[in-house]
Every structure is written in C-alpha cells, then in structure tokens.
Chain A
C-alpha cells in the first residue's frame, strides 16, 4: 500500500497530497500524521494540495479530519495551493472547509506562519 510521505521541514510538517488517495491510504495518513505530530512536537502542518486537480467530498472530508486531528494534538493545519477551479467547485458542492486556514502556496503559508526565516 502506498503511504503519503510526511516531511519535517524546519519545525513544521509538510504533507503533499497527490494523485489518487484511496480509503486505506487516507486512513494510514491520519495515523502517520498523528504519530509524527506527537513525536516531532510540530505545531504546524502544511497540507500542500496544489497537485490535486479535484477535491471531491471524500478528499474534502480527509482534509477536515486531518485538521481536526491536528487540533486535538495542539497543532494547526494550513491548506496551501488550492487551485481556483477546485475552490469554486468545492463551494458549489456544499463544502467550504470552514475553520481551516488556507494559503495560496506553501511559501505564503510559511510567511503567514511567520517562519519563513527559520527554515
């Protein structure tokens, strides 16, 4: 089974969602991420979704669940790089990822988090 890699960069975790994420991959990602948040004490997770051409309700739910898990472990998720067509479609679908921080790109997420200099 494929696993989504989780990279520690500076003092945050970078997760890049790509291609096709099946149920099992999604579950494994949640588990891995939970463990990595605890083991690295990272407070910030950048979820780079710039490579996703669509976000359906399954992926929408995964993003929401990841954010909720992170919050329970005292970390925050910033979703970075959503394509405009994806944003429009997601809103029309009825999902708006309310309460989740977003950034145009990984770089602007870093600037937002005030940690650009620290990497």
Chain B
C-alpha cells in the first residue's frame, strides 16, 4: 500500500483528534463543566487561557479537548450504527435477492428520498435533545449509501467463483455471508464509513444550530460552535476554536477516506454506487 499524502495527513488529523479525546483528562487545564467561574467570563486567548474563556468563564481549550470525546463519539458510534444497519440489510439483500431485496431496495430508496438531516431532525424532535437521541437519530438516517455499496458488492461477489464454490461445498448462508462476502467488501465500506463519520460530526453541528443538538454536561464542538455564533463579531474565539476542531477533524476524515479509497482500490477511484 503506497502511502499517499492524503492518507498520511488525514490519518494524522484523525488520530490526533482521537488522542485528544482519549487524553482529555490529562490535556485539559480545568474541568470543562464545573470550573465555571463567572469572574473570568469571556477572556480572550492568552497564556492562561489558551483559547480564551466562554460566557460562563470556562476554559475553551479544556472544553474543546473534552468536546473531542462527544464529537468523536457522535461520529464513530452513529456511523457504526449506520454501518451495521447498512451492511446487514445490503449484504443480505444482495445475497438472498428476491422479495427481501425488493424490500431493502424500497427502504433504501425511502431513506434516500428523505434528506437525512430532515429525518434526523424529526427523530430528534421525538426523542428530545441529548447524546443518545443524537446517536440514534444520526445512526438511523444515514445508512443508505452503506447499504447500497454492501448490496452492490454482495451482488457482484455472489457470482464470484469462490462464493459459488462455497455454496457448492455446502456452506450455510451465514457462513458464506460472513466468511466469503463480508471480508471482501470491507474496503469500500471502511471508506464510506470514514466519510460518514465526518458527515455525522457536521450533522451534529447542524442539528445544534437548528436547536435540536446534543447538550450533555460535556460540550460537543457542534454545540459550542452553535452557541457561539451570536458572538462571532464580538468574541470570535468562542467559535473559531470549536469551528477549527470540526473543520480539521472532518477534513482529516475526508482525506483519510480518500486516501483509503485510493490505496484500497487504485483502479476504480470513487465509482458511483
């Protein structure tokens, strides 16, 4: 696997984000929630407050650091849910075909027809704001691409010699799906998963903006950015740092996805699905 610039840069950015999230308790200067000292409200960036403080006097640097946890959780977990749903449906549809395939196809078309942000908005309205709701909302609404790719791969792999051979050898359906099909479609799935994580992080920000985001005790970058938007002219540091964190992480994920695609599948760059 040739190392490409986008793979390296993207991987590094993403790894950095993960690392920051993991090491948050050690990296952060203060508690992101409880260390609110209104006496220090809205300090601009300085040596004491690297990224400045917010309206409640909390250290933005620490909040950005802890924000990595929430934002990455949102990105990773919701995309995992998407992947599991998409792969389960797509793989089985492509493998079994028939009416089940029709059903899955109809479902996928349905999901494609409702813009996912709108669907997520509706789900958030039902479940109420919060991290779990958000994970569910984003996890349930973005699996159609994964599903299509899994289905298409399963369809094409199904006629491959080794899959037919497995059938001829008397393997059970599940054994075939898990040992013959799944491992051979992982490449594009990983790519789309990576890109999906990025878009989940952005969706979280968009939902926050629309008033249906995540507001657990720990901040997410999206909610920080959304809250700070009124002060973009007066206290720009409030939005610049979470904004940059989102930008760099999503950029990293996108680059990583591109890089993986190029490396895993040098022939067909981003074929349509």
Are the chains A and B members of one assembly? no
